[in-house]
Chains A and B, each alone.
Chain A
Amino acid sequence: MKIKMTKKRRTALIGYSFLSLWIIGFLLFTLYPVILSGVISLSKLEMGLGGIKYKFTGLEFFTYAFQTDSQFTPKLLESLAFIGYATPIIVIIALLLALMLKGEYKGRTIFRTIFFMPVVIMSGPVISGLLGKYSVDFSEASPALFTFIEALPEVFRSPCMFVMENLVTVLWYSGVQILILLVAIQRISPELYEAASIDGASGWEMFWKITLPYTMPTLLVCALYTVIELANDSTNAVNTYIASRMFDHKLGYYSYSTAMAWIYTAVIVVILLLIFGVLKFFQRKER
């Protein structure tokens, strides 16, 4: 009995030794900075000869962001609107492209390579250099389409406008999602489709009754991934604004940017939790 206990403990110790690097890293490079960030956002930093001094200010910088700073709220809303529009569109486009890419046909590797290439070369400077300047102004390129979309009711118009204006951006952000969805789609057993087609189901029906329910969890994981990716993007309106205020000594150097970063984080986490909740709901339903 005694030997068994020690063996169990030994195994647990070895287990922790595998996890130790991560645990140390988490405490040092994540938990400590998070706490420090809390302290910084709640106080005003002063850079003196003796190093950094913290003067406690409470929630002053948080209220400043909403009440005094006329730029923060619009920038925050701009980023959120972008995330809110782009996420469902990216996920839907990724699903459609994955459906087109599935199966065996000539040239599929070439198309996969093309659709995946942006993931590899995307970096802050490249995006701002390429996508910012050369997005096509479609009101000039195709006036007919423009007037058609203009005439649509608001519910359809603004998403359509968004897609047209940000077409390349949206496509470029969907590379990883396309591949993940492709894996999920190819995992659905072909027998399901065979059985359905024997029963006389059309391709359209099969999509709604087989493909979509089976890829739902993956779609939501893609949505989570997309939100995180877009939220962390350095060219995003809030992120550029936060970075621009980082060395503002009137607002306690890092204090104000840190407070803004916390507000932004809180909003993003709420969005992620919402998507996660939906994911859990679907996973439970499946079982």
Chain B
Amino acid sequence: MKLKKKKVKAISLGKQKRQEILKKTMLYALLVCIGFVFLYPFLYMFINSFMSPEDLMNPAISWIPSKIYFENYKKAFATLDFGKSFWNSLYISLIAAVLQTAVAAVTGYGLARFNVKLKGIIMILILATFVLPVETLLIPRYVMFNSYKLIDSPLPTWLSAFTGQGLKSAVFILVFQQIFNSYPISLDEAAELDGAGKYKVFYKIALPIAKPAIVLSMLFSFVWYWNETRQSGLYFGEVIKTLPMKLGSFAASYASLYEATGGADAATSINEAVTLAGTMLSCLPILIMFIVLQKQFVESIEKSGITGE
């Protein structure tokens, strides 16, 4: 009797295990399929950027180029004026990210740890700055900065970042507020009893605790400023070109570089492969950064615990 029971158990366990394996396999299959759809445009870009004009014309070749053709990258590199526009993108976004993070931390701490009278209104206004479409502010800000003669310099971008009115500043302020709210106020009070002033408490106690929020704010601000072209294009796009801006005007710059001189034949005229090589190059710096720091990206969201409660 006892033995029989054991056997039944073993069989049902085996069934459960098999079901588990089946479930896992299905999950993996689904994830791989969806992952492929996610990566499809990217793979397409990567592969086609190595195609020679002959390969592009050849209907028999759709996925694997007959030879790896680097000429596209050479041309795209020159068209994008890569060195210069990379540097422009880098310093403009990096400074904006640092400024935005600093002001978001300070504002978030003020909201989390002080019960000032205007707190309610300020919270509503912060949300309002997030909700208000960029379109509404684009033109009047341009008119304003133009009258202060700040156009054609990155100052409008930096100034609005440093005063918490930059790209998605509201999100970062709320993230900081949440993280400052989440640790016991007694820590702050203990430090104050030891004679630290409020600013010192912020600097010595609160900021180290908010490290995940700092990482999140730095990474995302940097990426979003890097990719932003509409506002910055208006403010300084005529004079300082960032990588994505150069990509936006790729066809035109290519034409003036290559087509004007030697008539348009298959070897010099712009083709898909060159454009894709350009797109690839303009994504590459951010992509490398993401691959190196991907753990921080994902963990920063998880640790700062944004779920909207």
Binding site for B on A (CB under 8 A): 11-12, 14-19, 21-26, 28-30, 32-34, 36-37, 40, 52, 97, 100-101, 105, 107, 109, 111-126, 129-131, 134, 136, 167-168, 171-172, 176, 179-180, 182-184, 186-187, 217-218, 220-222, 228, 231-232, 234, 239, 242-243, 246, 254, 257-258, 261-262, 264-265, 268-269, 272
State whether B139 touches A246 (Cβ < 8 A).
Answer: yes
With A21-B163, A100-B31 known as contacts, the answer to whether A265 contacts B41 (CB < 8 A) is no
Which interface residue of A24, A26, A262 has the most chain B CB atoms within 10 A? A26
B110: A residues at CB distance < 8 A:
15-19, 22
State whether A269 touches B131 (Cβ < 8 A).
Answer: yes
B117 CB-CB contact with A under 8 Å? yes
State whether A23 touches B297 (Cβ < 8 A).
Answer: no
State whether A168 touches B114 (Cβ < 8 A).
Answer: no
Please, how many angstroms separate the alpha-carbon atoms of A50 and B276 in the complex?
46
Would you give 7 A-B contacts (Cβ < 8 Å), ordered by A? A14-B198, A34-B136, A97-B34, A105-B24, A125-B250, A180-B306, A265-B136
Q: Smallest Cβ distance from A225 to chain B, in angstroms?
A: 9
Please, how many angstroms separate the alpha-carbon atoms of A189 and B309 in the complex?
16
Interface of B is mostly: helix
Q: Which of A40, A111, A126, A182 is B282 in contact with, Cβ under 8 Å? A: A126
State whether A129 touches B247 (Cβ < 8 A).
Answer: yes
State whether A183 touches B116 (Cβ < 8 A).
Answer: no
State whether A25 touches B229 (Cβ < 8 A).
Answer: no
Q: Smallest Cβ distance from A234 to chain B, in angstroms?
A: 5
B228 CB-CB contact with A under 8 Å? yes
Instruction: Give the interface segment out of B3-11, B65-73, B286-294.
Output: B286-294
Instruction: Give the interface segment out of B56-64, B101-109, B257-265.
Output: B101-109
Q: Which residue of A lies closest to B167 (CB)?
A: A232
Q: Smallest Cβ distance from B60 to chain A, in angstroms?
A: 19
A33: B residues at CB distance < 8 A:
137, 140-141, 144
Q: Which residue of B lies closest to A124 (CB)?
A: B229
State whether A234 touches B229 (Cβ < 8 A).
Answer: yes
Chain B positions 272 through 290: 1 when the CB is less than 8 Å from some CB of chain A, otherwise 0: 0001100100110011001
Q: Smallest Cβ distance from A239 to chain B, in angstroms?
A: 6
B2 CB-CB contact with A under 8 Å? no
Q: Which of B116, B162, B247, B275 is A21 in contact with, Cβ under 8 Å? A: B162
With A15-B114, A52-B143, A218-B308 known as contacts, the answer to whether A109 contacts B298 (CB < 8 A) is yes
A14: B residues at CB distance < 8 A:
114, 198-199
B17: A residues at CB distance < 8 A:
none
A176: B residues at CB distance < 8 A:
301
State whether B116 touches A15 (Cβ < 8 A).
Answer: yes
B126: A residues at CB distance < 8 A:
22
Q: Smallest Cβ distance from B129 to chain A, in angstroms?
A: 6
Q: Which residue of B lies closest to A219 (CB)?
A: B308
Q: Which of A28, A120, A124, A239 is B290 in contact with, Cβ under 8 Å? A: A120
State whether B227 touches A121 (Cβ < 8 A).
Answer: yes
Q: Which residue of A lies closest to B230 (CB)?
A: A234
Closest 6 A-B residue pairs measured CB to CB?
A25-B163, A15-B114, A18-B110, A221-B308, A123-B227, A33-B140
Interface of A is mostly: helix
With A18-B110, A40-B143, A272-B131 known as contacts, the answer to whether A29 contacts B163 (CB < 8 A) is yes
Q: Which residue of A lies closest to B309 (CB)?
A: A217
Q: Which of A23, A32, A180 is B122 in contact with, Cβ under 8 Å? A: A23
B160 CB-CB contact with A under 8 Å? yes
Chain B positions 208 through 228: 1 when the CB is less than 8 Å from some CB of chain A, otherwise 0: 000000000000000100111
B302: A residues at CB distance < 8 A:
179, 182-183, 186
Please, how many angstroms separate the alpha-carbon atoms of A238 and B232 in the complex?
19
Q: Which residue of B lies closest to A12 (CB)?
A: B116
A115: B residues at CB distance < 8 A:
34-35, 38
Q: Smallest Cβ distance from A242 to chain B, in angstroms?
A: 6
Q: Which residue of B lies closest to A130 (CB)?
A: B41
Q: Smallest Cβ distance from A41 to chain B, in angstroms?
A: 9
B115 CB-CB contact with A under 8 Å? yes
State whether A100 touches B30 (Cβ < 8 A).
Answer: yes
State whether B247 touches A231 (Cβ < 8 A).
Answer: no
State whether A125 touches B229 (Cβ < 8 A).
Answer: yes
A254: B residues at CB distance < 8 A:
139, 142-143
Q: Which residue of B lies closest to A243 (CB)?
A: B230
B290: A residues at CB distance < 8 A:
113, 117, 120-121
Please, how many angstroms separate the alpha-carbon atoms of A234 and B306 in the complex?
26
